[in-house]
Chains A and B, each alone.
Chain A
Amino acid sequence: MAKITLDNLAHSYLPNPKSEDDFALKELNHDWVDGEAYALLGASGCGKSTLLNIISGLLHPSQGRILFNDVDVTDAPTAQRNIAQVFQFPVVYDTMTVRENLAFPLRNRGADPAYIAQRVSQIAAMIGMEAELDRKARGLTADSKQKISLGRGMVREDVNALLFDEPLTVIDPHMKWELRTQLKSLHHEFGHTMIYVTHDQTEALTFADKVVVMYDGRVVQIGTPQELFERPAHTFVGYFIGSPGMNLFDASVEGPRATIGGVSFDLDAAYRPKGGSVQIGVRPEFIRLGSDNGLPARITRVEDVGRHKIVRLDVQGNAVSAIAAEGAAIPTDTTRIAFDPRGVNVYADDWRVKAEGGLA
């Protein structure tokens, strides 16, 4: 188990990167605290897997260093880093039995046979494949193969970190839930540092202590699920997390006064955005429907998704979503929307502006 430090790390797949756009992973400094479970969240192609492969040593970074417990391992091969990694698509050794597959990482390290047998039966119980232990891995379903891959990742107890690269993509939904719970309990039991790459926000939010959101090769926010929800540091976080995502309005902000489309209202703190395009972000949960004050709006559609209703509105030609509690009546005479001040965030050039002297 180890603390993993990324020091000035960046990576480009091009031999001679010129501009910042050439980097698949932009410069990054971060400590992965020993024993925490992280989720690396972002859209496809944002550099998540690149970062993971650099940590495990499958890729050599173009610049910067990686340290395990303050020891530089940038040039150390994968084998020396003692890392377990599970990939998006199942990798099993077809000609081996399930048992041999699970035992493979331990055998390669010359572990004691009695210990191997004991670990394999533990892991088999965990992934629910005790009955299939002695059959060949060839011909198993993608589901089972991925469970074997997961099992192979978890079979070693002494790993520095466990990395998961969207491991549940091919798994059935109900099994997904179960395996994720298993991973979490494994984390509680052994306290491995875990990094879990996903593009599924539910997966990220339920799995991790800390969520790392990446966008376009850059880490845009690291925080607890609650922080990501209440104070998205970047408009991408607001848009990507939450269902539906955060509403953004072009605005002008002068201290505690904001103006959107000619309508002014008070904020709960003063902001002084320095130039750039200023936007106000409000999650659908913080939009109040009414007819007295706020922005003029027109309801276009109401979707009942069970737990609550999603109200789609047209506000000055822009699509806006609001969430109304299940059972709450939607005022039919809705002509205006107002914002709950607690849920208002101000952005300049996509980055969140901190309130003056107020909250973080």
Chain B
Amino acid sequence: MQKTVNQKAWFLVLPVLVLVAFSAVIPLMTVVNYSVQDTFGNNQFFWNGIGWFKDLLDSERMWDALRRQFVFSAIILAIEIPLGVFVALNMPKKGVWVSVCLVLMSLPLLIPWNVVGTIWQIFGRVDIGLLGYTLDKLGISYNYTQDFFAAWATLIVMDVWHWTSLVALLAYAGLQSIPDAYYQAAKIDQASRWKVFRYIELPKMAGVLMIAILLRFMDSFMIYTEPFVVTGGGPGNATTFLSIDLVKMALGQFDLGPAAAFSIMYFLVILLISWVFYTVMTNLDKRDGPR
């Protein structure tokens, strides 16, 4: 059968192209535009080539923030993923307590970021905060505005409190999808509790856990509001993560060019990591083979 050629169909794609252009491409291009120019005000711009990028790669400040960011994300993942799985394994499988658990676990997820920050900011204060006051009275030196370790500990505990439920809920969904027959067969085969976890539960959760790791990594890598509210990036630069540094640069110092270069680098790092995750995940699927 002869197919009729009709190029008019391209017009149907146009609305999407326009939408994407305004929502993503044009804003991104303005950033690219700033990143290769310099200005002394008065809306006068000068071509600077890749100068800002060179500066950025030489910048001790940026590398420090990036290192802190990776350390923070790594610690968060190392705690939240195993803890979330542990919580999911111990949640009831059926009965009224399921709903109770689910609601309680969802609560932290529903609180706005800056409120979470405020809660912990007050909670940890030595003068009026329950946590800070108690620790102080117990003779434990704790002051997140002064002490490097206390500041990090507060942010990590806060993030664990805020987000472990998400991992637990995802892992729980994975666990619920395992048919009873698997547990029954394991009993018949006399598998130990550890083997049930290792050979039944973990493989069945692998898919959702990858998603949980991806989500938690991206979120913690882009974290801004909570540390901004609690520590403001301090003491010193101890908790100045990438996004806090970026905002300081772009809005505090109004260094548009370096900030734009910074943004692009930030974006590329996230893109790269997402791509790595995506590749790993699709390879996991391939290992599954045809069903």
Find the B residue at minimum CB distance from A152.
Answer: B189
Cβ of A191 within 8 Å of any chain B Cβ, yes or no, is no
Q: A78-B188, A109-B190 are in contact. Are A91 and B182 (CB under 8 A)?
A: yes
> How far apart sit A12 and B122, CA to CA, in the bound complex (Å)?
54
Given A108-B192, A108-B195, also A139-B288 (CB < 8 A): yes
Q: In chain B between 135 and 187, which residues have their CB closer than 8 angstroms to a CB of chain A?
A: 179, 181-182, 184-185, 187
A76 smallest CB distance to B (angstroms): 12
Task: Check B287 for interface membership: any CB of A closer than 8 A.
Answer: yes
A289–B86 CA distance with the chains assembled, in angstroms? 72
Tell me if B199 and A93 are in contact (CB < 8 A): yes
Q: Report Cα–Cα, A105/B199, bound state, in Å.
A: 13
Q: Which of A81-89, A126-134, A178-186, A271-279 contacts B (4 or more CB under 8 A)?
A: A81-89
> B280 to chain A: which residues have CB within 8 Å?
none
Known: A79-B190, A108-B190, A108-B191. A96 touches B182 (CB 8 A): no
> B residues within 8 A CB of A105?
188-190
A43-71 contacts to B (CB < 8 Å): 53, 56-58
The reply on B82 being an interface residue by CB < 8 A is no
Q: Which residue of A lies closest to B199 (CB)?
A: A93
B198's closest neighbor in chain A, by CB? A95
Q: How far is the CA of A58 from the CA of B180 in the complex (A)?
A: 10
The reply to whether the CB of A94 lies closer than 8 angstroms to some CB of chain B is yes
B289 within 8 A of A: yes
- Nearest to A105 among chain B residues (CB) is B189
In the complex, chain B residues whose CB is within 8 Å of the CB of A89: 179, 181
* Interface residue A345 (Cβ < 8 Å from any Cβ of B): no
Interface size on A, residues (CB 8 A): 28
Q: Is the CB of A87 within 8 A of B181?
A: yes
Cβ-defined partner of B187 (8 Å) among A58, A88, A109, A149: A58
A153 to B188, CA, bound (A): 9
User: Whole-angstrom distance between the alpha carbons of A239 and B37 in the complex?
Assistant: 89
The 0/1 profile, CB within 8 Å of B marked 1, for residues 11-41 of chain A is 0000000000000000000000000000000
B185 touches A149 (CB 8 A): yes
A165 — nearest CB in chain B belongs to which residue? B181
| B289 (CB) vs chain A CBs: closest residue | A139
- Cβ–Cβ < 8 Å partners of B290 in chain A: 139
Q: Complex formed: what's the CA distance from A87 to B179 in Å?
A: 11
Whether a CB of chain A sits under 8 angstroms from the CB of B203 is yes
B256 within 8 A of A: no
Q: Name which residue of chain B comes closest to A100, CB basis.
A: B199
CB nearest to A91 among chain B residues: B185
**Which residue of B179, B184, B200, B291 contacts A58 across the interface (Cβ within 8 Å)?**
B184
Question: With A91-B182, A93-B200, A94-B203 known to touch, is A78 a contact of B187 (CB < 8 Å)?
Answer: yes
Give bound CA distance, A83 to B190, whole Å. 10
- In the complex with contacts A79-B190, A85-B184, A89-B181, A95-B288 CB distance below 8 A: no
Q: A57-B187, A89-B179, A152-B185 are in contact. List 13 more A-B contacts (CB 8 A).
A: A53-B184, A58-B184, A78-B187, A79-B187, A87-B184, A94-B203, A95-B203, A104-B189, A104-B191, A105-B190, A136-B287, A139-B288, A139-B290
Which residues of B approach A to under 8 Å, CB–CB? 179, 181-182, 184-185, 187-192, 195, 199-200, 203, 287-291
Interface residues of A (CB under 8 A from B): 53, 56-58, 77-79, 83-85, 87-89, 91, 93-96, 104-105, 108-109, 136, 138-139, 149, 152-153
Could you list 5 examples of A-B contacts with CB < 8 Å? A79-B187, A96-B199, A105-B189, A138-B287, A153-B188
